[in-house]
Structure 1
Amino acid sequence: MSSRIRLEDRECPLSTTVQHVGEWWTLLILHDAFDGYTRFDQFQQSLGISTSMLTARLKTLVADGLLERRPYQANPVRHEYVLTERGYSLRPVIVALAAWGNRHLDPQDRSMILVDAETGQEAEPVVVDAHTGKSLNDSNAYVFAAGPAASGAMRARYTELDRQRRSRSADPGPGAG
Structure 2
Amino acid sequence: MVRRTRFNDSDCPVARSVDAIGDWWSLLIVRDAFDGSRRFGEFQRGLGVAKNILAARLRALVDGGVLDVVPASDGSAYNEYVLTPKGRDLFNVIVALRQWGEAHFFAPEEPHSEIVDRRDERPLRALEVRSADGRRLGPDDAVVKKVAPPAAAHTPS
What range describes the TM-score normalised by the shorter chain of this pair?
A: 0.7 to 0.9
Render the CA deviation track for 1:57-91: whole Å, top value 9, x for unaligned. Answer: 11000000000001228997321000000000011
For residue 88 of structure 2, what is the aligned residue in structure 1? 88
For residue 41 of structure 2, what is the aligned residue in structure 1? 41
Which TM-score applies when normalising by structure 1? 0.73
Gap regions ≥5 residues in structure 2:
151-157
Q: Which of the pair is proportionally richer in helix? A: 1
Residues 1:81 and 1:130: Cα distance change in structure 2 (over 3 Å):
farther
Residues 1:92 and 1:73: Cα distance change in structure 2 (over 3 Å):
closer
C-alpha RMSD over aligned residues: 2.4
SS in 1 for 2:115: coil
Render the CA deviation track for 1:105-155: whole Å, top value 9, x for unaligned. Answer: 22322411222223322223223226333333x122221113xxx3428xx
2:128 and 2:65 map into 1 onto residues whose CA distance is 24
Percent identity (aligned): 37
Q: What count of residue pairs does the alignment treat as equivalent? A: 146
The higher-RCO structure (CA 8 Å, 6+ apart) is: 2
Residues 1:60 and 1:139: Cα distance change in structure 2 (over 3 Å):
same
Contact 2:6 2:19 (C-alpha < 8 Å) held by counterparts? no
SS in 1 for 2:11: coil
Question: How many angstroms does 1:9 deviate by?
Answer: 4.4
Contact 1:114 1:123 (C-alpha < 8 Å) held by counterparts? yes
AA in 2 matched with 1:131: A
Q: Rg larger in 1 or in 2?
A: 1
SS in 2 for 1:55: helix
For residue 117 of structure 2, what is the aligned residue in structure 1? 116
For residue 103 of structure 1, what is the aligned residue in structure 2? 103
| Higher mean displacement: 116-125 or 14-23 | 116-125
Q: Does 1:31 align with 2:31?
A: yes
Which TM-score applies when normalising by structure 2? 0.81
